[in-house]
Amino acid sequence: MTQKVAIVKDYAAKYQSLSADEAQNLIKRWSDTDVAAVQLRMKFIPKFQDALRNKKAARFFQIDRRIGLIADLQLASQIPLVEQ
């Protein structure tokens, strides 16, 4: 989440004068954080399945994903869309 906050701060600092290259860079950085989060979840799935069994592990990851989506929604609701 700290990477996303850094990206948002960078966007806020450049919002008024965001160039096409800076916009492209923000998209890539944001996407990279999403990929890293998925990779981290994938790394821990087998460990959680061993510890909790499949149904409890599935429930854990459902709850984890929902919390992540809520956090993303709260963050996104505070960020203005890029001006064209």
pLDDT digits (tens, 9 = 90+) for 40-60: 999 999 999 999 988 999 999
Residue 78 is classified by DSSP as T
For 75, list phi and psi in degrees, rounded to 5: -65, -45
Mean pLDDT on 12-27: 90
Domain contains 83: no
Which domain, by its residues, includes 21?
Answer: 2-77
Task: Report if pTM > 0.95.
Answer: no
> Chain-wide mean pLDDT for the chain?
90
The number of residues in the chain equals 84
Taking CA atoms, 47 is separated from 26, 37, 39, in Å, by 33, 16, 14
Say what the pLDDT of residue 56 is. 93
pLDDT band, residue 83 (cuts 50/70/90): confident
In this prediction, residue 1 carries a pLDDT of 66
Q: Distance between CA atoms of 11 and 80, rounded to whole angstroms?
A: 10
How many domains does the chain contain in total?
Answer: 1
Asked whether residue 70 is domain-assigned, the answer is yes
Residue type at 51 in one-letter notation:
A
Report the alpha-carbon distance of residue 18 to residue 21 in Å, rounded: 8
